Amino acid sequence: MHTPLIDNPTPETVDYLSLSEVTRLCALSHEEAAELIEFGAIQVESFDLGERYVSSSQVAALQHACKLYHDYDVDLFCVVLSIDFMRKIADLEDQLSVLTALSPRILKR
């Protein structure tokens, strides 16, 4: 028996957190969060009903960087640098996994 295909598959959903939730999770003040937005470390994805929303995929790197900020008393610019490096490392790891999947024998040396 033939099974019909779904006409309109649901798009992949992205989870968002409000900026208030992000500041609470990362133990940041609203001023610190505003500075990180200005530096581009926090990228606001959506704005709804007076609240700014951030993709949940940003939160893990931000939490790690903020832990460095609090534990080692570095300035916010160092937080921005560490977030940028963590994002680049994640991108490179993704590229490496794709290359490994495409040519496993070449990369095993």
Measured distance CA(57)–CA(44) in Å, rounded: 12
The string of pLDDT tens digits covering residues 46-85 is 888 889 999 888 888 888 888 888 899 888 888 889 889 9
Provide the pLDDT for residue 88. 92
Ordered by where they begin, the domains of the chain are: 16-107 (1.10.1660.10)
Give residue 5's pLDDT band: very low, low, confident or very high (50, 70, 90): very low
Instruction: Tell me the backbone φ, ψ of residue 79, rounded to 5 degrees.
Output: -60, -45
Residue 1 clears pLDDT 70, i.e. is over it: no
Average per-residue pLDDT for the chain: 82
Instruction: Tell me the backbone φ, ψ of residue 4, rounded to 5 degrees.
Output: -70, 145
Model confidence pTM above 0.95: no
Give residue 28's pLDDT band: very low, low, confident or very high (50, 70, 90): very high
Residue 16 bridge partners (DSSP):
55
Provide the pLDDT for residue 49. 83
In this structure, what token pair is assigned to residue 56? 């949940």
Residue 23 clears pLDDT 90, i.e. is over it: yes
